[in-house]
Copies of this chain bind each other. A is one copy, B any other.
């Protein structure tokens, strides 16, 4: 069995070994850049873990699932344009480094480099696996659309928010796990169970991400706390707070959140105080824990010996805490 660091190493080396059309370095330099500035490689690592759950042989899966990471980074390059984000993972974003046109085009080519990876799947799995990935890719676009629509919406319900993160984040993690399982020889029923495992894991992961943006330790989490509050981004914390606050407090939170003050420190402090008053961190952590429990209950159903599940259980646990 492979452990998480070993799998991350395999993915990183696979990313380095991608062969590009080298006729234009200008096109490919931003691709190499964005793929080199780190990240957890969560999706392909989970895919290989799911493969390894069913099989000791993971070689055939490595190149195709590397496509999951390239697709994920493709979405980041374009999302950063839409969000006008200048920094990601402590590095300049592609559009702030190379400009709008370059970030659109270098992003675009990543979608087709992703295809190249999937096209190296064994023939008997290609159609099935590519369809699972591509369905998720379309859903990610829908999720990003709904997330953009939320910017203009005044009220977003908890269910609407959860559906958005399901599409934007969870379905790709779910598809990654399902694809990995199929590479490992899982049958359709087992692959579907693994999809549900990944879907719940992805929901927990995104809610945790929302919590960490406000309550995370800067040193551990690597970015300044409160970025979402400063930007007025609708997160699970905000949506939940708006749902449970009494009408006066709700009105105050809404005004505070949408205000474009230059004193972001005060804004973050005031919003966090309202969250604390409403016990939002506790409520959010509880929901994330619920999703993690549901995820694990699906993993339990997978018909393989318990000891094969240990890596995935540990990975699931690590996503629930701060050590990521």
Contact = CB atoms under 8 A, between A and B. Distances in A.
Interface stretch (A102-110, A189-197, A303-311): A102-110
A104 B116 contact: no
A82 B102 CA distance: 9
A119 B130 contact: yes
Contact of A112 (B24, B119, B138): B138
B145 A26 contact: yes
Nearest to A74: B108
Given A21-B142, A26-B149, A27-B141, A134 B112 contact: yes
The 8 closest A-B pairs by CB, nearest first: A27-B145, A109-B141, A82-B101, A112-B137, A24-B145, A115-B134, A111-B111, A112-B138
Given A78-B105, A104-B104, A113-B138, 20 more contacts: A21-B138, A21-B139, A23-B146, A27-B142, A78-B108, A101-B148, A105-B141, A108-B108, A108-B111, A108-B141, A109-B142, A111-B112, A112-B134, A112-B137, A115-B115, A115-B130, A116-B138, A119-B127, A119-B131, A126-B127
